[in-house]
Amino acid sequence: MVRAVVTALGLFCHFAGGGSTVAAPVAPPAPPVPSTGTPHPSAPVVKVAGMTLEIRSGRLVVAKVEKGSPAERAGIRPLDIVLVANDRSLVDLDPIVPQQVLALLKQEAGSPAHLVLGRGPGTLSVDLPGESGEPPEAPPPDLRPGLEAPAFGGRTIDDKDFSLKDLRGSLVLIDFWASTCPPCERAVIPLRRIAEQSAGKLQIVGVSLDADRKSFEAFAYNHHLPGIQLFDGAAWRGPIARLYGVPDTGIPHYVLIDRDGLIAAIGSLDTIEETIARLAGATL
The CA–CA distances, whole Å, from 281 to 88, 146, 169, 202, 210 equal 50, 19, 15, 10, 33
Is pLDDT at 95 greater than 80 in this prediction?
no
Tell me the average pLDDT across 209-234: 93
Give the C-alpha separation, 63 to 149, whole Å.
Answer: 38
Banded pLDDT at 101 (limits 50, 70, 90) = confident
- Position 139 scores a pLDDT of 54
- Position 35 scores a pLDDT of 40
- Residues 247-276 have pLDDT tens digits of 878 889 999 999 999 999 998 898 899 999
153-283: CATH topology is Glutaredoxin (3.40.30)
Q: Out of 22-36, 75-89, 104-118, 238-252, which region has the weakest mean confidence (pLDDT)?
A: 22-36
Instruction: Say whether 189 sits in a helix, a strand or coil.
Output: helix
- Position 72 scores a pLDDT of 85
Phi, psi of 216 (to 5 degrees): -60, -50
What is the dihedral sign for C-alpha 59, 64, 70, 72? positive
Residues in the chain: 284
Establish how many alpha carbons lie within 13 A of residue 136's alpha carbon, considering only the half-sphere containing its beta carbon.
17
Instruction: Say whether 98 sits in a helix, a strand or coil.
Output: helix
CATH 3.40.50.800 for domain 45-128: no
- Position 113 scores a pLDDT of 81
Listed residue (67, 153, 55, 74) closest to 112, CA to CA: 74
- Position 217 scores a pLDDT of 95
- Position 115 scores a pLDDT of 86
Identity at 185, one-letter amino acid code: E
**Domain range summary for the chain, segments of one domain joined by +:** 45-128, 153-283
- Residues 140-193 have pLDDT tens digits of 567 889 999 999 999 899 999 999 999 999 999 999 999 988 899 999 999 999
